[in-house]
Amino acid sequence: MATIFSRIIAGEIPSYKIAEDDRFFAFLDINPMAKGHALVVPKQEIDYIFDLDDSLLAGMALFAKKVAAAIQAVIPCSRVGMMVIGLEVPHAHIHLIPIQKEGDMSLANPRIRLSKEEFAEIAEKISSRIN
Ligand code: 5GP
């Protein structure tokens, strides 16, 4: 059965899309740790990130780099943190999280709530910064 992320990539489930190319897809996390929290996923459905072949893994990092720069241009933050967990959804993904301090990356932090309009506006602004 397709993962929820494959269904998002296929457009079967809506998402606040930021960017895509032939191999990768980026969209806002629906349960964000901060405004602009995004996920980068390979279109190829592979569970564990370190099972990606070298070229795909390197390409994913470079795609994430572009998305992170766009996030940083839109969301006031000192850095965009990068995190991989992958215990919830069995489809490799990189979290990109705007942070001001180390503690902002803590999984113990409560997630924030955003309206549909806020999600859409953030995605649109970040998306417009991707070249
Ligand atoms: P992880 O697998 O890295 O522990 O966490 C999966 C992440 O995917 C979580 O931050 C969760 O909020 C996000 N997520 C799970 N399901 C969906 C979904 O249907 N849409 C979006 N945009 N994000 C999701």
- CA–CA separation, 101 vs 117, rounded Å? 27
9-22 residue pLDDT tens: 999 999 999 999 99
50-91 residue pLDDT tens: 999 999 999 999 999 999 999 999 999 999 999 999 999 999
Ligand 1 centroid–CA 86 distance in Å is 9
Q: Which of 37, 91, 93, 95 is catalytic?
A: 93
Residues spanned by the domain of 13: 4-127
What rounded mean pLDDT belongs to the chain? 97
- For residue 109, the model assigns a pLDDT of 95
Atom of ligand 1 nearest to the CA of 28: 22
CATH code, domain with 26:
3.30.428.10
* Number of independent structural domains in the chain: 1
- For residue 131, the model assigns a pLDDT of 74
Mean pLDDT of 22-40: 98
CB 64 within 8 A of CB 94: yes
